[in-house]
Structure 1
Amino acid sequence: MKKAAAALSLALFATACGGVDAPADAPAAGPVSTSGTFTYAIPTDPGALDPATGVLSVTNTVLSLAYDSLVHTAADGTPAPGIAEKWEVKPDAVTFTMRKDVTCSDGSKLTASNVADTVNHIADPDTKSPIYGVLVPTGMKAKADDAAGTVTLSTPEPFSFILQTAQSLFVVCGEGLKDRSKLARGTSGSGPFVLTEAAPGNQYTFKARRDYAWGRDGGTGKDLPEKVVLKIVPNEQTAANLLVAGSINAASFYGPDRTRLEATPGINKVLPPVGNGQFFYHQGDDRPAKDPAVRKALTQALNLQELSGIASSGTGRPASGLVLDPRPCKGDSVTGHVPAFDAAAAAAALDAAGWKAGADGIRAKDGKKLTLRLLYATTRGPGVQAATEYMAAAWKKIGVEVELNGLLDTKLAESLNVTQDWDVFWLPITVTLPTQLVGFLSGPAAPKGANFAHLSNDRYEKLVAEAQKTPGDAGCKLWLESESALFENADLVPVVENTLLLASKNASFEMVGGLFAASTIRLTQGS
């Protein structure tokens, strides 16, 4: 499997707080029901369910019902005990002491070796896991001591967020470790639910584990609904109608339907941050955007404040960085580092770069028209489509021809890494650690590596190399500077920090950056 840049759109990496855990102004919940079914709408099919290949946000939403990580995420974003009860951190290693009561869904005991096998499988070059170098740092190795109940994760050099990487790593155990082919349409984890039926394109059904007793904040399986159904509903309006009618219990909303639901009585509502909207320029040898003058001119031609409002349907805020709140490194890496809006200067810059307007108004150089193929995900709501249309119109005014191409999430990896047939791509980023971006923003280009945009920014790479070995505030300063280096070079253009509406009816639950805190799911009677 090729490394898939669609991983950046994934809530997989996120650990920011969010949920539908009845806010103060929500209707009072009725008594908890453990015999019914909690139904949640997801926008597209998750594809293969092996955690080592899970790169789409929807895939990891599904996986979060069935798998645990070494550490959970507390309300403030910090690590809290998970299947590990404690840990000892060194600059280049972290040793976890495992809980003794954790079992896999097949009844087998979860061991330290299970954790080590999970990590080492991802790090094995033959596996070609797309989350290696992202969730599992490059060069990381795992060593287990089952007698002591400990597992140590180590890196060749000091790694500034070595503990935090464990928050997003799903641990495989039981039969799934022996035969990973079973994980394509099944689950084998220690989470509070186990997959019982996979109907691709329709729905995924999970059954509660009543013996589960190691959830966040002491969560157990005794109050969980008997079943959870993740129903595929690509259209947000349809999902909203189903929610109002009571046919589903919850869904997330990016687009205009969120306004209707926010005003609907009986609906519980929370607005968590969900990641950033930005676009990348393809810098391959045969692409116009390989020239930094072209990238900066294209960026100057856009009013990013207007674009932010359009992309988020007025519900976002201007971008201030690449990492989702609560960020480990506080600060604004964007302001003052992105080319300012100036359409006249943009046109002049293209002239100076040799791109001259023809009789039809479209610029050309050496007989080749300045044509950009702009990709975006159709599952990201009408705001993103409107944003790309706005970009196309703005670029047309300065003599650029734009071809818009909307794709389903499941087709993005192929377009980005295999065919490489794109020039600009609107790609949501949902990460909680700056280290999770490095493999996508530097290193070998696709298809040999995860660097899908063929970026080559020496200053970014130098700053990252220093930051990865530097803990604390000094390291954070370097991480923020590394982001700014990308923006100054117009390698990628940050536009908006998004929120979404998590809406529920007759149910409560918490989500953490698009992942279920699965032991918190409750089905209530009444509204």
Structure 2
Amino acid sequence: MRNTGAAAVLGALCLFAAACGGTAGTRSGETADGGTFTFAISSDPGVLDPAMGVLSVTNTVLSFAYDTLVHYGPDGKMLPGLAEKWDVTPDAVTFTLRKGVTCSDGSALTPADVAANVNHIADPATKSPVYGVLVPVGMKAEADDAAGTVTLSTPKPFSFILESAPLMFVVCGKGLKDRSALAHGTSGSGPYKLVEAVPSDHYTFQVREDYVWGPGGATTKEPGQPAKVVLKVVPNEQTAANLLISGGLNGAIVYGADRARLEALPGIGKMVLSAGNGQFFYHQGDDRPAKDPAVRRALTQAIDLKELAGIASSGTGRPATGLVLEPRPCQGDTVTGHVPAFDASAASAALDAAGWKAGPDGVRAKDGRKLTLRLLYATTKGAGVQAAAEYLAAAWKKAGVDVTLNGVIDTKLSESLNVTQDWDVVWLPIGVTLPSQLVGFLSGPAAPKGANFAHLANERYEKLVAEAVLKPGEEGCRLWLESESALFEAADLVPAVETTVLVATKNATFGLMAGLFSPTSIRLTEAG
């Protein structure tokens, strides 16, 4: 996989899988027909072309206007979407499309349209950041308009060939002919059409009253379905919370201090959902101290991960059980018993054994070189991440390490990871729904030539993945789970916590799955 900007993709996928699944809200009255549903998004979504939609907020916006071939059900199983049925083989899946599906411009959706989307993303000239992440490397699509089918295939067996489909938005109509129109517009078969885009302020969608092909046959004709949806850009969570309380919003996702305030209020619908994992990576480049596995394990032993988890999540997290979030295809705990346990004395002894001896100033050195770590983290991820970085620095300084904190905004984080490589440890959230989506970041060519930003070279992980990707079902899952544990045992990355968010609502209910809205599930209610 080529380098697509690890920080951007991993940070985005963290929230792409945020709100893993469920229905938020409580009914406070009768359904209210024909109204407007207003939801807060934390930043502007940028370019709205699904082939370039790597940011989580972008995919939130896109989920109103675009459909996918299939959808995740509450139990993780596939539900019909644009496809009414499908046939899976180890290296291909053939979808039979529903009849009567139309694009927002009135044109009929065809198998050729679906194939064009996949092949556009897979075209090297597109430089799509979702290629190799949401669309598997080497995938191609072939349409049979007469039969009403489209076949997605890979050069060799791929264990999640079907499970990749719920994350591929399908462009149709005029947008296929002129993708420049997708910069600030939509051209999809989804239940809503974008009618107004005011960057950094709001995005307004109008319902499609003829929409009858949603998940499991859902329509937009149900009582309480809003006629309009307004996604309002509200960067400040306190402002979002205040708007929600006053009735200026029907929904918002809250991470920080205002979460407790909203949870205590009557009349606010509440659901706690997973928002990705909090963990840190060690840079294993040739000139880095963490290239030595003994140093990585010692540094990990110096950290009380339970205490770190509470700090990073402000006490609202859950124990990390793996890198893949629900609805995960492979169930199991890959973390417990596979991460070096907290033992400060053992950490100190291990660093001594590795040749890093404490000097007069308390800082360890080896061959005249001090043990220094530059700890990189994003300042835009909330107070918990800042506090987690400070905790890590304090624990490592106690162990004799000279630590420099380097907090930067998201764009600078991506530059530091991929271009300047000016870091030794990075706190980087991850949240994906398929383990295959991470392979290019955890193995292969190192940055800046590839997406392997931490220069990982875990032979056991690579061997297990090479076997797992060829095997579907339980056999493949066993290998995928073992591959994650291999990373933790080598302290290549250290999972600290599964963070959660509060989805807060007022006078509305709605469903979320794999971080995406289920627009046909939105119901407005009269104020109670």
Q: After TM superposition, is the score higher than 0.5?
A: yes
Q: What per-residue deviation string (whole Å, max 9, x for no partner) do you get for residues 380-433 of structure 1?
A: 332222212111111111122333333444544333223332222222221111
Q: What per-residue deviation string (whole Å, max 9, x for no partner) do you get for residues 173-211 of structure 1?
A: 122222222222222221112223333322222222222
Distance 1:201 1:217 in 2: 34
Q: Which runs of 5+ in 2 are unaligned?
A: none
Alignment CA distance shift 1:2-1:208 (3 Å): farther
Look up the SS of the partner of 1:271 in the other structure: strand
- Within the alignment, does 1:111 sit opposite 2:110 as a pair? yes
Q: Give the superposition deviation at 1:462.
A: 0.5
Alignment-derived partner of residue 17 in structure 2 = 14
Distance 1:487 1:236 in 2: 34
1:49-60 paired onto structure 2 within 5 Å: 49-60=48-59
Alignment-derived partner of residue 29 in structure 1 = 29
Alignment-derived partner of residue 40 in structure 1 = 39
Alignment-derived partner of residue 511 in structure 1 = 512
Q: Structure 1-normalised TM-score?
A: 0.94
Distance 1:406 1:515 in 2: 29
Distance 1:28 1:433 in 2: 37
Look up the SS of the partner of 1:346 in the other structure: helix
Alignment-derived partner of residue 496 in structure 1 = 497
Once the two structures are overlaid, the 10-residue window that deviates more, 72-81 or 37-46, is 37-46
Look up the SS of the partner of 1:486 in the other structure: helix
Alignment-derived partner of residue 323 in structure 2 = 322
Q: Structure 2-normalised TM-score?
A: 0.94
Distance 2:234 2:480 in 1: 38
Alignment CA distance shift 1:203-1:417 (3 Å): farther
Q: What per-residue deviation string (whole Å, max 9, x for no partner) do you get for residues 342-373 of structure 1?
A: 12222232333333334433334455443323
Counterpart code for 2:227: E
Q: Give the superposition deviation at 1:128.
A: 2.3
Distance 2:288 2:300 in 1: 16
- Within the alignment, does 1:417 sit opposite 2:418 as a pair? yes
Counterpart code for 2:419: V
Distance 2:196 2:290 in 1: 46
- Within the alignment, does 1:198 sit opposite 2:197 as a pair? yes
Q: Give the superposition deviation at 1:507.
A: 1.3
Alignment CA distance shift 1:8-1:84 (3 Å): same
Alignment-derived partner of residue 178 in structure 2 = 179
Distance 1:408 1:228 in 2: 30
Distance 1:47 1:341 in 2: 42
Distance 2:125 2:138 in 1: 14
Look up the SS of the partner of 1:406 in the other structure: strand
Q: Contact 1:14 / 1:168 at 8 angstroms: preserved in 2?
A: no
Counterpart code for 1:327: R
Distance 2:47 2:350 in 1: 46
Once the two structures are overlaid, the 10-residue window that deviates more, 291-300 or 377-386, is 377-386
Alignment-derived partner of residue 468 in structure 1 = 469
Alignment-derived partner of residue 336 in structure 2 = 335
Distance 1:104 1:400 in 2: 59
Once the two structures are overlaid, the 10-residue window that deviates more, 373-382 or 489-498, is 373-382
Distance 2:16 2:232 in 1: 23
Distance 1:410 1:206 in 2: 29
Q: Contact 1:417 / 1:452 at 8 angstroms: preserved in 2?
A: yes
Look up the SS of the partner of 2:429 in the other structure: strand
Alignment-derived partner of residue 389 in structure 1 = 390
Q: Contact 1:320 / 1:334 at 8 angstroms: preserved in 2?
A: yes
Alignment-derived partner of residue 438 in structure 1 = 439
Alignment CA distance shift 1:406-1:20 (3 Å): farther
Q: Give the superposition deviation at 1:513.
A: 2.6
1:5-404 paired onto structure 2 within 5 Å: 5=6, 6-9=8-11, 10-11=13-14, 14=17, 17-22=20-25, 26-34=26-34, 36-223=35-222, 224-404=225-405
Alignment-derived partner of residue 523 in structure 2 = 522
Counterpart code for 1:423: D
Q: Give the superposition deviation at 1:4.
A: 2.2
Q: Contact 2:111 / 2:144 at 8 angstroms: preserved in 1?
A: yes
Q: Contact 1:20 / 1:269 at 8 angstroms: preserved in 2?
A: no
Counterpart code for 1:480: L
Q: Give the superposition deviation at 1:222.
A: 3.4
Distance 1:151 1:12 in 2: 30
Q: Give the superposition deviation at 1:480.
A: 0.9
Q: Contact 2:202 / 2:231 at 8 angstroms: preserved in 1?
A: yes
Distance 1:432 1:524 in 2: 32
Distance 2:193 2:289 in 1: 49
Q: What per-residue deviation string (whole Å, max 9, x for no partner) do you get for residues 444-471 of structure 1?
A: 2223322222211111010001011112
Once the two structures are overlaid, the 10-residue window that deviates more, 204-213 or 403-412, is 403-412
Q: Contact 2:31 / 2:523 at 8 angstroms: preserved in 1?
A: no
Alignment CA distance shift 1:13-1:257 (3 Å): closer
